[in-house]
Amino acid sequence: MVFDYIDGSAGIGWGEDLNLAAIANVRLRQRVLVDVANRDLSVTVFGKKCLAPFGVSPMAMCNLAAPNTDRALARLSAKYKTPLGISTIASSTLEQYIEWSEGQAWFQLYFSGDGTQTFKLLERAKRADYRCLVLTLDVPEVAHRPLDQRNGFTIPFRVGPRQLRSEEHTSELQSHSFISYAVFCLKKK
């Protein structure tokens, strides 16, 4: 179930196919016969120097992948001074992320419903001293994700019998790993 959520895509996967094709077409430009004694990958983004030319994309409920994934990504973001995208439905609080990332966190906000909860989240991000807002407006409703529906995956995430069962395509190791993780989550409460 967790594998399907992380690996899966919306609908029949057209968006995923387009993204994979775009990535496959990226080419790095080789430079030869240039001085490489002092290499520097840093870039400036919104007036802040980043030590690497990339950041961490927002990931909803990233702790499903492994316990404390959010904390590890935030610490790496702080170490390399790179942006850390924080999903509206992140695994930890906005306040924790901004602290762990030492101010590198960017909040990805999904506008939903009548805006009441959205504006409350925006105020929390402002009080936590977020300096960058990534406003996502292209998701007027939750995407159709067939694998999530088949697995009984819901938000907020709740561990139940449908999530703990073993499917034909799930190896014994994957089932064991998920059950161990589910027990870990339940012990935290």
Q: Do 178 and 164 form a contact (C-beta atoms < 8 A)? A: yes
Enclosing H/E stretch for 181: helix 172-188
Give the pLDDT score at 176.
Answer: 42
Q: Do 45 and 56 form a contact (C-beta atoms < 8 A)? A: no
| Spatial distance between the Cα atoms of 108 and 21, rounded to a whole number of angstroms | 25
Give the pLDDT score at 59.
Answer: 87
| Spatial distance between the Cα atoms of 94 and 74, rounded to a whole number of angstroms | 12
Q: Do 55 and 82 form a contact (C-beta atoms < 8 A)? A: yes
Which residues of the chain are modeled with pLDDT < 70? 1-6, 138-144, 148, 153-189
What is this structure's pTM?
A: 0.70
What tens digit of pLDDT does each residue of 110-157 get?
887 788 888 999 999 999 999 999 988 766 666 667 776 777 766 655
Q: Do 136 and 111 form a contact (C-beta atoms < 8 A)? A: yes
